[in-house]
Copies of this chain bind each other. A is one copy, B any other.
């Protein structure tokens, strides 16, 4: 019986590569590849080359481990960013999320993951030593722990807190509380409890 699924090995190869991506099955992969087949040769070549360049040419900032086209990323080399405030984040997605708020003008430090014994990730696998070095240089005034509020995130925050406790700096965490736009009844008890304990002065954003 005919068992072969694709009429072309080249097609098969491309579909296979796509279906290795997270959340993309064989059917979606085929749809994407057939779409690419209909595009201009130059466009598909550009796509392929973008992926090859991405992996071969991208660098990590030597200061904060952010992804960068140069030795030092745009944030670390920006004179207007406050180098004495460092926000510790898990990955560059978190940097992008915080940057999108346009509310932060300090710098970052990407630790590259989170302590997770289940996944075999310990403190030694993360960029924590370089953070401690930065702090020990004496030029840092504040470290903001901007990690996830999961158990692993909190564990990692606590680990970093312990490592930095002996230095004379401020260590803060992102405020926890009820999300803006959420109905109160949807907030979980722990968040709600924290947001009552840590309640802040009422400030209206409406013009009076």
A179 CB-CB contact with B under 8 Å: no
| Bound-complex Cα distance A44 to B22 (A) | 14
- Give the size category of A's interface with B: 35 or more
Which one of B21, B48, B56 contacts A49 once the chains associate, using CB atoms below 8 Å? B48
**Cβ-defined contact, A57 with B10, below 8 A:** yes
**Cβ-defined contact, B102 with A1, below 8 A:** yes
So how many copies of this chain end up in the complex? 2
**Cβ-defined contact, A44 with B37, below 8 A:** no
Which one of B7, B50, B75 contacts A7 once the chains associate, using CB atoms below 8 Å? B75
| Bound-complex Cα distance A58 to B39 (A) | 13
Given the interface pairs A9-B69, A69-B8, A69-B9, the reply to whether A37 lies near B50 with Cβ below 8 Å is no
| Bound-complex Cα distance A13 to B48 (A) | 11
**Cβ-defined contact, A36 with B51, below 8 A:** yes
Identify which of residues 50-74 in chain A touch chain B, using a CB-to-CB cut-off of 8 Å: 50-58, 66-69, 73-74
**Cβ-defined contact, B35 with A74, below 8 A:** no
